Structures are given as C-alpha cells and as structure tokens.
Structure 1
Amino acid sequence: MKWDYEFDVVVIGSGNGALTSAICSHDGGAKTLVIEKSTQFGGTSATSGGGVWIPNNRYAKAENVDDSDQDARDYINSVSPEGKIKDELVETYLSEGPKMIDYLHDNTQVKYRNLQHYPDYFPDNPGGKAGNRSMEPEPIKGTELGDDLKKLREQHPQTAFTMGPINMNFTQVEGQLLLGALPGWKSLFAKLFTKYILDIPMRLRWGWKDRRLTMGNAGVARLILSLKDRNVDLWTETAMTDLINENGAVIGIKATKNNVEINIKANKGVILASGGFEKDQGLRDQYLPKPTNIEWSAANTYNTGDALKAALKLGADTHQMDTGWWSTVMKVPGQDKGWLSMVDKSMPGNFTVNKNGERFSNESQNYVSFVNDMFDKYAEGNPCAPCYMVFDSKFRKNRPCGPLLQSSMQPDSAVPREWWTPSFLSKGETLEELAEVAGIDVNGLLATQAKVNSYAATGKDLDLHRGDSVYDRYYGDPSVTPNPCLAPLQTGPFYCMVLYPGEMGTAGGLVIDTNARVLNKEGKSIPGLYACGNCSTALLPTYPGPGSTLGPAMTFGYLAAKDITGSNF
C-alpha cells in the first residue's frame, strides 16, 4: 500500500462529536487529522440549536439543582423502548458525559451555559425534570475564527432571524421569546437588531453575517478554535471513499482530496463521525418508515451515509435503522432543505389536521414524538402525511410561522408570490374557502374548529391533552388563559401551512460498545474502527430532552479518543 499521508488518528466528519474526539485524541498524544468532504465544517451540529443534554453536568450543579444519577437513570429507562438500549451504554453515558464536559471546560475554549427552564421532553415521567439538564453554547464572536469564518456552515434559517439578506443570530433562550412572539419579544428584537445593523465593520468585511455566533454555530466555532489552538489538521473538500483494512483491522482510509485520490494511514484508529444517511433516497426507502422523501429533510446536504456504507463492507452490525430525529418541516418554494417547524405549531391560535380535517396528535408535544405519531397513524390509514397547520388572522398578525413573519412585519402583500401554493401556504376568507384551496375536507375542518374553540374556552383539550405537560407549556404563551397552548380560531382570513414528516438526521446506525468501538454481527469489535454521532445507533432514540443527539455524540467521541490513546483524562 502506498500511503500519501500518515497520522495516528483520522476523524471522518466535523460536527460536535468529530471535533470533540479530535481534541481529545490530540491531547492523548496522537497526531490527529479531521477531514470534511464539503467546503464548510460543522455538519448538522453547526445548523442545530447547539443544545447538549447531559444530566448532572457542571453548569447545573453550579446552580445546586435537584437532580441525581438515579433520577436520570429512571427517566431514561421510562422513555426508552424496552430492550433496545443496553444498560451499560446508558450507565457509561451518565458517568462519562459530565466528565467530558468538565474536560472541555477546563482545557479548551468550549463553554456552555445551563438552560434552567428548558424542560425534559417527557417531564412528567419518573425522574423527569422541568429544566437544568440541557446546556447551550456561550455565544462567541465569529471574527475570532478569522478567515475560517467563511468555512463555518451557516445556521439553519429556523434557528436565526432571516429576512432577505439579513441573518441575525439568537440564543435558545432568546429564541423562545422571538419565535413565539411572547411578551418582551419586541424590545429584545430591537436590542439585537440595533446591535447587528450598526456593526459597520462587520457589514464592510463580511456582508450580512452576524458577528455574534450562537446555538450550533457557537458550539462548533468553540471546538474549531480549540483545534486551532492545538494546530490540529482539519481538511475540507476531503471525502472518505472507503476504509482500508488488513486482516480485518482498519489501518487507514481511501479518500479524495480536491478531486485527487489519496490513501491516509491511521496508525491507531479511524473515528467515523460523518452523520447519518438522510440524504440518500435509496437508504431512506430501505430503512425509514413511509412516507419518506429526501426533499423533506432539513439535514446537512452531505449526509449520504458514507460511514455506514464503508463499515457495512467490513461486517459491521447496525441497529434502529428505522429511527430518526424527526420534525415536521415546511417545503419552502425555492429552498433545497426542509424548514423545521418546531415552535410555531406549539403556539396558541392554531391546530393541525389531516386531509379529513381531523386532529391526530398533540401539536404542542415535542417534535420527535409528533412525527412518530404521524408515521404510526399513517401506517394505520390515517391521511396525516402531509398534515395541515391551520390558523386565523389573529395568529397571523402576532406570530411568525416558519419563514412567514407575523403580518405586522410581513403583510400578505409582501409574501413572495411563489409561496402561495397548496403545497406550502394557502389562504381563504372563510374556513370553507380555505378548505377548498388547501384540499381539506370542509366538514371535518369546521367540526375541528368548533372543538378547539370550546377547548380553548375551558382550557382542557379532551381529545389530545394539549397544554397538560410542562413541556407543552414551554412554547406556550403565558398571557393566554386558561391554557397557554390553546386559543380560538375565529377571525378570517384563515391560513394553512403544509407540514411534512421530515428530520434533522437519521438516528439508526452502527452498533458500538462503551468505548465507541464498532462491533460486528458477532458482537466483537472491529480493530481500529470507532464511531459516534448519527452514524452510530442512537443511545436516546426517543429524544428525552433538548440536545439528546449532541450529548451522546460528544461523550462517545471523547471515549473513543480515550480508548485509542490509552489516556485517562
């Protein structure tokens, strides 16, 4: 074998899991390389909310919260599918996750802040909490990256304020106010926008980029800066095409770098962290529940299952291949990615129906569970995929809905003409007219309106219990009573936004052990091969809290580095 490059550890991908493993591999004494096949680093992590769900982390402990490993264990067990998650993986996560955060906090530029009021997604379950288990990255100035700022993948439009060329960032805490148009949002928006628009040096140098990085961008930027501090190599436009093995042990990779085929030796190990397979329609058709369409995905365009395909050739085992990090999405005309719909349908003043005009799931519950309901009911014959979010002129005036800003900021006359299509956005002066335009059964829609309006008056959703949970109410409006998640739909014109069953990423993948080693179908590790993140099988498939993907990705990236280097940090 002719080797063009030689390293101790080669990391495939550049999201949170990949970058954490690279930092820790370097700190363990290994000469480390990170490769990213696109022109921008950060993967899905950079476009996400950046949250990291790790119970009993240092930031929560600093606020003396009421939590314990036993509470976290009880909670995870109560929400996890029985028999699917190995107890030793959960135990490892609970013990090693906080240590990983401690290590990054003490030794790198990676810093988080506690999310005191962001609840677990099933807070009423045994061990569930109303906050203090998730963290979000401390904001950071993008200019600290220097020229590498242009290589940072942009936030998903759903996690920033975008209008025309304007791209203004906000934190998760700020987003709760802004995306829900809750009391205080106008003064917060004015403060952020004034600072953004008057940053003349940034406008002159970087156009409409925001100097202040938040959410996923802040998390990835802090990891990248920590790698730069260590002079670790990070190559963009370098794609792994295959794993190189010798007598069953992985010793390197084949890749293309700037369209040139190369062989890279990995003396100690290869860490797969290149995301899921959501952008490969063939794999979607093979594994994911129906209906499934690559066009509905909100994920990174480059997540085509490279790690999965290469590892399967070596006999790697897989698990939970039919699972995903689901969210309803809007298919905005002219945009390649699906637009995540996580907050808007949770707010009071709307309801979501199937083709028959009937509600089928609690709109204010967490987004993964809502889409799971879509798939389950669709399989039973319920025409709920796609589904239809219906709202009236009062909601339209006061609240944003996906890319559609509230009419006080974006009146109907300013909505792009191409948006007015039954596959995205419809309008009718009456509900009957809306039903005809959108293709919804009118009698079912009118019956649902009557029910929801009565539930809004009493505060009790007798059908789907919307607003009963602490999580439901997190994205509700406390000024709306008696139920912050329910308000009547009364005043025309009426509107409809079409929602599709999409995802942020797939959640099934390679089976790993407690050291993040990839296992074959006999349960034995494949020497030299490790995995973390969405190319490995989900540790927390029901998504128990905000950041349930990044937490395990970073923890098992850290554990992979420890095992490879023999370190005990």
Structure 2
Amino acid sequence: MDETKFDEVADFVIIGSGGGSMAAGLYLKSIGKTPLILEKTDRLGGSTAMSGGVLWVPNNHIIRAKGIKDSHEMARTYMDATVGNDGGPGATPERKEAYLRNGPVMLKWLEDQGMKWLHTEGWSDYYDDRPGGVTRSRSIGAPMLDAREMGPLFDKLRLGPMVMPLPTDKAGIIGLATRTPRGMWEGLKLLWRMRVVARRGKPILSFGGALQGRLLMLADKAGVDMRTEHGVTELIEEDGRIVGVIAEHGGRTLRIGARDGVLINAGGFSRNAEMRKQYGPQPSSVEWTNANPGDTGELIQIAERHGAALDLMDQAWWVPGTVVPEGGPANMHNTDISKPHCIIVNRHGRRILNESGSYMENGQRLYRNDVPAYVILDSRHRKRYAWGYYPPGKTPQSWLDSGMMKKADSIEELARITGIDPAGLNAEIEKFNGYCETGKDLDFNRGGRGYDNCFGDPTVKPNPNLGKIDKPPFYVMEIVPGDVGTSGGVVTDENARVLRADGSVIEGLYATGNSTASVMGRCYPAAGASIGASFIFGWIAAHHAVGGNG
C-alpha cells in the first residue's frame, strides 16, 4: 500500500461507534496499534448507546461467581436449540463457536481494562425451556453512571429512549411499582434519583447509556481516536484488498488508508425507507423504528458493490409497538404486553401469539398474520401497569381524541368501532378467560417459561401472565412490528471477514453488528444477543487483522 496516496493513514479504520467499535479500538490501542473510529453522526455510541445495554455472554466469569450453572456445552446446545442449523451463512457452526468461545474472554479482558459489569439477574434466556437454557440470566450490563463523571465527553454521547436512573437489573421490578413491595421500593428510589438528576442538571445513565458511557471513557483515556461527523462514502480497493476509506467531513473529502484493515460497524437500514421496501416484509415504515438515526444502510450497499454477499435482509429485531399521534418513533411494548389483562388479536378476533414471549418472534408472527393487529386491554391493565413511556393510570387524552386508542364499555362495542369481528373476539376472550382460571394457555403456553414470567405480575394467580379481559372500560389500539434495528447485512466468517457469494474472502474488510447477517439467524435467543455479537465479532476482527487469535 502506497501511503502517499492518502491524506492520512491508520492501522485499522472502524466505521461506526457502537459497542463492537469500542471493543476493537481498545484492544488495538492496548497493543500499540492506531485504531481510528469514524462516526457519521454528531454523537458517539451507535445503537448500543440507545439499547437496553446488555450483552448475552454465556459461561462468563460473572455468572459463575453468582453460582449459576452454565458451560460452553450448555450454551452450544441452547444455540442449536434456538438458532438451529438453518440460520443462513451468517449463522454457521463456526461462527456460533467463535461467539461462544470469545465472549467470556472478551468480557474478562474489558473488565481488566477498567470496565465495570452488572449481572442482570432474572433476565432469563428467551427460550429457557429448551435444552441448555438458563433462567437466571446470562446477560451482562453496566452499573449506572453519573454523567458528570464523563466531563465534556458526555456531550458526545448519543442518548436513547431509556434515559432514566434505573439499574438495568431492576427493569422488570419497576413495572410492578403499584403491585408489590419490591416494585414500590424501586419506584420510590427511582423518584428520588429523578429529583437528584433535576437538581444536578446531568442525568444518571443506565442501560445502553451507562454501557457506552463507560466504554467511551475507557477509549478516551486510552487515546483511541474517535471522530464524529465523518461519513464514509466509499471503500478503497487495490488488487482485491480493501486498503482504506473515503470520508466526508466539513465539506472536505478525505482519503484515509488502513494498514491492517477496515471494520464496518455502521448499523443496519431501519431508517432507509427504500431498503426496507426492497428487502423487508410489508407493510413497514421508518416511523415504526427506534433504531439510531445513523441506521441508513449505505455501508451495506457499498460493501455489496465491492462483492459482499448479503443475507437475512428481511429480518429485524422486531418489537411490537404503537404509533402515537405526537409523532416520533413507535412506543415499544415488549414488557407491557407481557402483563395480565392484555391480549393481541387479528381482525378476526383471534389471538396470534404469546404476548409474553420473545419480541422478535412476536414481530415475525405479526407479519404472518395481520399488520396492524390489535392489542386489547381491560381497565385493570391501564390502572396497574405502564404503557409505553406512561406510568400506570396515565393515558394521554390526545391518544383518545385522535382515535389512536379507542375505549368502550363492552367487547361488542370495542369490536364494532375497531372493525374486528365481534363474534370472533367474544369467543376468543371467553376461551382466554378460561385459560386465566386454570393458569394454562393451551394455545400459546403464555406464562409457561421463565422468560414469560420476568415481566409478569406475581400477585396474579395461578399464572402471573394471564389475567381475564372482563372489567370495563376496555381499550384497543393498533399494534405494529416496530424494531430496534435490522438484523441482515453482509455475510461474514468466524473471523468477522466479509465474504463474497462464492465464499471467498474480501481481504482487508471486516464487519460486525447490525451491518452483518446475524449469527443468531432468524431468532433472538436472549437479551443482549445483538449487542453481544457486535462486541464479540468486533473484538475478533481486531485480533485477526493484526495476526492474533480471536
């Protein structure tokens, strides 16, 4: 590579600033290399900063210290039982093995660099009833972080929808603030912290903000070069090898060389309406996504022009949501619909999914049935539990005035004003109410797994996820498959190298995160599976690029 052809040269150019970028940059800096992180937006952190902020890392030292039974063999059995063998070329046995082998090592290494971790007790694997599943959680997050500790770096951090001073491991408990002593206690602590934040003027970060905030501090301290508003518009290829990038910044076009390689970690295409229409199931809308603003897909398209194979382009990390009249992204309801006194039906009035199950699977089921479908609540749900960003008992009048939420004193009237078949809905609710009495959902086994119970109400018996729909007034809203990012993209191997359709390697080009065809295939096996993959394959890419073992 002739370095005189470039405006500047780094050892490893990383496109995007999510979690995988931080893992790669920190490792490379620790061995004396010069990583360069280029973020096209005005904030650092990517989708990781806007996420729930956990990594799914089976068999790690943190859960072993908690006495949780796990092993490499159990984790591999679980991935085989969930992801299976038909997840596409991004979910090969070799990639799954690389994920499981490198995750615990990476987690411990980051801890040794100063990262602080928090075990999210109770965030069960989403299919914990399958072989190898763990109920007590393999997911790891970060403790809350006072934004004042970040200094000026805080102003560069992207913030997501979950900016509240609530520990990641208390996310399930806070939903019971009106129902249980523990929930009430956590609610009181949350209110106290919110008052503290109001006095200080800077938030106490949790979830993805705490995770990326801590990693940004470590990367900044290590001297990792992280630049915002540097949009990559092209990869530079010489003799079949990617040797650099072209980036735009402040009206200038920069040619930046990469001695060891280029890593794409630029997210998916949730914010690109044309790509959603080209690849994804329909109907869809950029208004339904909670993905980060930089999730526009151009790096996937650029890589494809250089020969990259694509797969799983019809998949996303779906989260059932409602579109609010105020505009903005859809309200996400993955935990809300898990509570009792709530069902989701199609236009015929029939239930179509396990409301307490994996949100990705529920998005897939919505597309196999009706989009939109309808979520029905009775008065107890609105009185007892949160809905979207609103606490129990608080329903914005604008929702009712706009017709986004409809209200009726009978199921027949609710069906009539919504266009749902009244006879079908009445029959379904009668059957469902019978399941609530026995505690057994014979249609979808709702409440039959540890994960289902994570966001249920233990005061409701005999099943914490099943509550009758029989107390008026009743409420109904259209519910759509929102998302937190797409999960298809370029195909990569176990070393995170980008592959062509014939399986050959595009030398010098690596990818991770939502820019890739997920190692999880068409399944979301546990909390943090997407963020975990971003970290782990970013880490692997950095090792491979410099000749190390990932």
Whether these two folds match at TM > 0.5 is yes
Whole-Å Cα distance in 2 between the matches of residues 196 and 565 of structure 1?
45
Unaligned runs of 5+ in 2: none
Whole-Å Cα distance in 2 between the matches of residues 431 and 88 of structure 1?
52
Q: Which amino acid aligns with 2:545?
A: I
Q: Does 1:87 align with 2:93?
A: yes
Contact preservation (8 Å) 1:28, 1:566: no
Q: Does 1:403 align with 2:408?
A: no
Q: Provide the residue aligned with 1:73 in structure 2.
A: 76
CA-based RMSD: 1.8
Contact preservation (8 Å) 1:272, 1:307: yes
Whole-Å Cα distance in 2 between the matches of residues 253 and 430 of structure 1?
62
1:186-205 per-position Cα deviation (integer Å, ceiling 9, x unaligned):
222222212321346522xx
Whole-Å Cα distance in 1 between the matches of residues 56 and 196 of structure 2?
35
Q: Which amino acid aligns with 2:68?
A: V
Cα deviation for residue 254 of structure 1 reads: 0.9
Q: Provide the residue aligned with 1:562 in structure 2.
A: 543
Whole-Å Cα distance in 2 between the matches of residues 199 and 323 of structure 1?
38
Q: Report the 3-state secondary structure (helix = DSSP H, G, I; strand = E; otherwise coil) of the residue aligned with 2:33.
A: coil
Between 1:77-86 and 1:548-557, the stretch displaced more is 77-86
Q: Does 1:497 align with 2:503?
A: no
Whole-Å Cα distance in 2 between the matches of residues 236 and 419 of structure 1?
41
Cα deviation for residue 507 of structure 1 reads: 0.9
Q: Does 1:335 align with 2:327?
A: yes
Q: Which amino acid aligns with 2:533?
A: P
Cα deviation for residue 110 of structure 1 reads: 2.0
Unaligned runs of 5+ in 1: 161-167, 379-383
Whole-Å Cα distance in 2 between the matches of residues 536 and 324 of structure 1?
11
Q: Provide the residue aligned with 1:185 in structure 2.
A: 183
Q: Provide the residue aligned with 2:436 in structure 1.
A: 456
Q: Report the 3-state secondary structure (helix = DSSP H, G, I; strand = E; otherwise coil) of the residue aligned with 1:518.
A: strand
The count of aligned residue pairs is 541
Q: Which amino acid aligns with 1:41?
A: L
Between 1:360-369 and 1:22-31, the stretch displaced more is 22-31
Contact preservation (8 Å) 1:142, 1:149: yes
Q: Which amino acid aligns with 2:488?
A: G
Matching residue within 219, 222, 230 for 1:227: 219
Whole-Å Cα distance in 2 between the matches of residues 50 and 198 of structure 1?
23
Cα deviation for residue 434 of structure 1 reads: 2.3
Matching residue within 145, 151, 154 for 1:146: 151
Contact preservation (8 Å) 1:180, 1:347: no
Q: Report the 3-state secondary structure (helix = DSSP H, G, I; strand = E; otherwise coil) of the residue aligned with 1:464.
A: coil
Question: Residues 362 and 306 from structure 1, CA distance in 2 versus in 1: closer, same or farther, beyond 3 angstroms?
Answer: same
Q: Provide the residue aligned with 1:530 in structure 2.
A: 510
Q: Does 1:195 align with 2:187?
A: no
Matching residue within 33, 42, 53 for 1:50: 53
Whole-Å Cα distance in 2 between the matches of residues 419 and 245 of structure 1?
56
Contact preservation (8 Å) 1:180, 1:344: no
Whole-Å Cα distance in 2 between the matches of residues 9 and 106 of structure 1?
23
Q: Report the 3-state secondary structure (helix = DSSP H, G, I; strand = E; otherwise coil) of the residue aligned with 2:529.
A: coil
The alignment's TM-score, normalised by the length of structure 1, stands at 0.91
Percent identity, please.
34
Whole-Å Cα distance in 2 between the matches of residues 271 and 180 of structure 1?
42
Contact preservation (8 Å) 2:261, 2:508: yes
Cα deviation for residue 416 of structure 1 reads: 4.0
Contact preservation (8 Å) 2:55, 2:140: yes
Whole-Å Cα distance in 2 between the matches of residues 89 and 97 of structure 1?
12
Contact preservation (8 Å) 2:491, 2:499: yes
Q: Provide the residue aligned with 1:101 in structure 2.
A: 107
Q: Does 1:551 align with 2:532?
A: yes
Q: Provide the residue aligned with 1:172 in structure 2.
A: 168
Cα deviation for residue 289 of structure 1 reads: 2.0
Q: Provide the residue aligned with 1:511 in structure 2.
A: 491
Question: Residues 340 and 200 from structure 1, CA distance in 2 versus in 1: closer, same or farther, beyond 3 angstroms?
Answer: closer
Whole-Å Cα distance in 2 between the matches of residues 478 and 201 of structure 1?
35
Q: Which amino acid aligns with 1:305?
A: G
Q: Provide the residue aligned with 1:133 in structure 2.
A: 138
1:217-254 per-position Cα deviation (integer Å, ceiling 9, x unaligned):
11111110111111211111111111111112111111
Matching residue within 128, 138, 144 for 1:123: 128
Question: Residues 329 and 239 from structure 1, CA distance in 2 versus in 1: closer, same or farther, beyond 3 angstroms?
Answer: same
Q: Which amino acid aligns with 2:183?
A: W
Whole-Å Cα distance in 2 between the matches of residues 564 and 508 of structure 1?
23
Contact preservation (8 Å) 2:269, 2:275: yes
Whole-Å Cα distance in 2 between the matches of residues 187 and 64 of structure 1?
26
Q: Provide the residue aligned with 1:381 in structure 2.
A: none
Contact preservation (8 Å) 2:142, 2:168: no
Contact preservation (8 Å) 1:298, 1:329: no
Q: Provide the residue aligned with 2:377 in structure 1.
A: 391
Contact preservation (8 Å) 1:432, 1:442: yes
Contact preservation (8 Å) 2:317, 2:485: yes
Q: Which amino acid aligns with 2:192?
A: T
Whole-Å Cα distance in 2 between the matches of residues 355 and 372 of structure 1?
17
1:150-205 per-position Cα deviation (integer Å, ceiling 9, x unaligned):
2211122xx35xxxxxxx331232211223545132222222212321346522xx
Q: How does 1:373-452 map to 2 (within 5 A)?
A: 373-376=365-368, 378=369, 384-407=370-393, 410=394, 412=395, 415-417=396-398, 420-422=401-403, 424-452=404-432
